Amino acid sequence: MSTAISLHKIVKNYGPFRALDGVSFEVHSGELHALLGQNGAGKSTLMKILYGLTVPDSGEIRLGDAVLRPGSTKEAISAGLAFVMQHFSLIDSMSIAENLVLGQLKGAGYSPRKLVASMQDFIDRNAFELDAAAPVGSLSVGQKQRVEILKALYRKARFIIFD
């Protein structure tokens, strides 16, 4: 089985506190992994490093054969990573449809009606019971989590990190 994700000897310090001390692990194609540990064990820090939100003090991150540049979310996203965080990255004043395509639309304009219809079709095909026209600010926490998952699916992520 080929290695899909590899983190090698990741170190992260916050001042005198060492959050990660030479952490290494691999995920092979088709595998599903869960990191378990107490609060403050470094799980979220490690996932933020993988996604490029936090820069490690040392170590190497690979997706397949490609080395990811530390601290580059753009590179991580381009490589097929998505991150569903415990604190949402949604804009409450925008609709579900607009949040799904945020940063994805090309060109100067779009038809809001066509966007909502297209995103409603996408939502329905993925068996999520959400109204694409609904403002994100009106959603429950569980519904917002579903929108974050839909964003990852819409962007055709190869790997989804859940925190």
pLDDT tens by residue, 8-30: 999 999 999 999 999 999 999 88
**Between 108 and 82, the higher pLDDT residue:** 82
Q: Which residues contact 135 (CB under 8 A, 6 or more apart)?
A: 92, 93, 94, 95
Show the CA angle centred on residue 95, arms to residues 92 and 100, nearest 5°. 100
pTM of the model: 0.83
Q: What is the mean pLDDT of the chain?
A: 92
Number of folded domains in the chain?
2
| pLDDT attached to residue 104 | 73
21 and 65 in a single domain? The answer is yes
Looking at 32, 54, 79, the residue that finishes a domain is: 79
* pLDDT of res. 58: 97
**Does 90 map to a domain?**
no
* pLDDT at residue 99 is higher than 60: yes
Alpha carbons 10 and 33: distance in angstroms, whole number:
18
Residue 30 placed within a domain: yes
Q: Which domain holds residue 29?
A: 3-79
Of residues 138 and 1, the one with the higher pLDDT is 138
Q: Is 38 helix (H, G, I), strand (E, B) or coil?
A: coil
Q: Residue 163 domain-assigned?
A: no
Please state, in angstroms and as integers, the Cα–Cα distance from residue 138 to each residue in 34, 91, 130, 154, following that order. Answer: 31, 11, 12, 21
Q: Is residue 21 part of a domain?
A: yes
